[in-house]
Amino acid sequence: MKKTKKRKIHPLQVITHIGAWIPFIILAIDYSNNNLTVNPIQEATLRTGRTALTLLVLSLACTPINIIFSYKPVLKLSRPLGVYSFFYALLHFYIFIGVDYGFNWGFFAEAFLEKRFTLIGGAAFLILLALAITSTDGWKRRLKKNWKRLHRFVYLAIALVITHFIWSVKSDYRLALVYGAIALILLIIRVPVIRKRILRK
Ligand code: HEM
């Protein structure tokens, strides 16, 4: 009989799964209570976009947290956080195309191609889609070394999303810049020379 390997579930994983659903539940409650401002579509678009970006940044934070605090359980969170980020990006895209444009592909294509911030958001979305599909153990085994190479595209995705955010806001870029600064710090910590220095300390 084939023995199945039991995976230990860390409490942090449970907290991550529960926490990732909270923005969705709040959005659903606010929607059913007509509590989504005077422009519910825009509010839902902004909320899902911000949640997708936050989860993406948190997913990128796992390795640097392990480098600084030598706390390995956090490494198990990077994959689910990335997949949840894609889930919210999908919702964000669905609200844009389905709710805002009623799946009218003509109108959608016009609006999509007209604005540079939607084009760049689309590029980020495609990267997240590829990463979410190949995030399983099966794909990891199949792609071998290329899996790591492919998943490095997450850095490009985050840069595209931050640009998408900056270009989508009309005047106040402060929040977008805060996200950008955090993402940059997280990337710098991963640079081998910096990583080695931190580990030595
Ligand atoms: C085809 C893909 C995408 C489309 C069509 C799209 C569309 C939009 C639209 C229409 C807005 C709102 C602009 C406004 O009303 O001010 C927006 C904002 C935003 N989107 Fe996207 N988006 C896409 C992909 C993404 C992805 C992949 C992410 C994150 C992973 C993302 C994160 C954001 C963020 C953070 C904002 C700004 C929220 C804020 O101002 O607080 N978007 N996007």
Give DSSP secondary structure letters for 131-147. HHHTTSHHHHHHHTHHH
Range of the domain at 168: 11-200
In a domain, 189, yes or no: yes
Residue 119 lies in a domain: yes
Asked whether residue 182 is assigned to any structural domain, the reply reads yes
pLDDT band (50, 70, 90) for residue 108? confident
Torsion of CA 133, 82, 171, 174, to 10 degrees: -160
140 pocket-lining for ligand 1 (C-beta < 6 Å): no
Q: CA-CA distance, 198 to 201, in Å (whole number)?
A: 5
Q: In this structure, what token pair is assigned to residue 125?
A: 């979305």
Q: Which residue has the tokens 């290329």?
A: 146
In whole angstroms, give the CA distance from residue 140 to residue 135.
7
Average predicted confidence (pLDDT) for the chain: 93
What span, in angstroms and rounded, lies between the C-alpha atoms of 28 and 22? 10
Whether the pLDDT of residue 168 is over 70: the answer is yes
DSSP at 170: S
Q: What is the pLDDT of residue 127?
A: 98
Confidence band of 19 (pLDDT split at 50, 70, 90): very high
- Evaluate whether residue 33 is within a structural domain: yes
- Name the residue of 46, 60, 128, 158 to mutate for ligand 1: max ligand atoms within 8 A of Cβ: 46
Cβ distance 91 to 48 under 8 Å?
A: yes
Chain mean position to CA 89: 7
Ligand 1 near 58 CB (within 6 A): no
Is residue 4 included in any domain, yes or no?
no
On whether residue 116 sits in a domain, the answer given is yes
Please give the tally of structural domains in the chain: 1
Distance in Å from the first CA to the final CA of the chain? 48
Q: Is the CB of 89 under 6 A from ligand 1?
A: yes
Say if residue 76's pLDDT is above 70. yes
In a domain, 117, yes or no: yes
Q: Which pLDDT score is estimated for 5?
A: 63
How many angstroms does the Cα of residue 113 sit away from the middle of ligand 1? Answer: 14
pLDDT at 43: 94
**pLDDT band at 17, cuts 50/70/90?**
very high
Maximum average pLDDT range among 104-108, 142-146, 194-198? 142-146
Closest residue to atom 1 of ligand 1, CA basis: 122
Share of the chain above pLDDT 90, in %: 77
pLDDT at 4 over 80: no
- 73: CA distance to ligand 1 center in Å? 31
User: Is 42 near ligand 1, meaning CB less than 6 Å away?
Assistant: yes
The pLDDT assigned to 96 comes to: 87
| CA-nearest residue, atom 33 of ligand 1 | 49
Q: Is residue 114 part of a domain?
A: yes
CATH code for position 183 = 1.20.120
- Alpha-carbon distances of 174 from 84, 159, 180, rounded to whole Å: 25, 16, 10
Distance (Å) from CA 38 to ligand 1 centroid? 19
Tell me the pLDDT band of 103, cut-offs 50, 70 and 90: confident
Question: pTM of this prediction?
Answer: 0.93
* Cβ of 121 less than 6 Å from ligand 1: yes
Rounded mean pLDDT, 168-187:
93
Is residue 87 very low, low, confident or very high in pLDDT (cuts 50, 70, 90)? very high
